[in-house]
Amino acid sequence: MLRYLLARFRLSQRAICEESAGRGLGDDFHDYPDTADGQPWHLVDLTCRHCGKTFRI
């Protein structure tokens, strides 16, 4: 629960990655600053530069 809140409010990068693991593309705590290029592309697959998970925003 604490980790969920940390991820929800982007207080912990590790919580974001851990809470996002196992979630679907559209149900994910990652956001575009987590990508290598940091561009806010929508409707394309983005990859987290920390954990490598694919997500969309």
Contact set with Zn ion (CB under 5 A): 17, 48, 50-51, 53
Instruction: Report, in Å, the least distance between residue 42 CB and Zn ion.
Output: 18
Classified as helix, coil or strand, 2 is helix
Q: For residues 5 and 21, which CB has a smaller minimum distance to Zn ion in the complex?
A: 21
| Angstrom distance (rounded) from CA 36 to CA 29 | 16
Instruction: Report, in Å, the least distance between residue 22 CB and Zn ion.
Output: 12
Instruction: Report, in Å, the least distance between residue 2 CB and Zn ion.
Output: 18
Identify any residues that bridge with 46 across adjacent strands, giving them in sequence order: 55
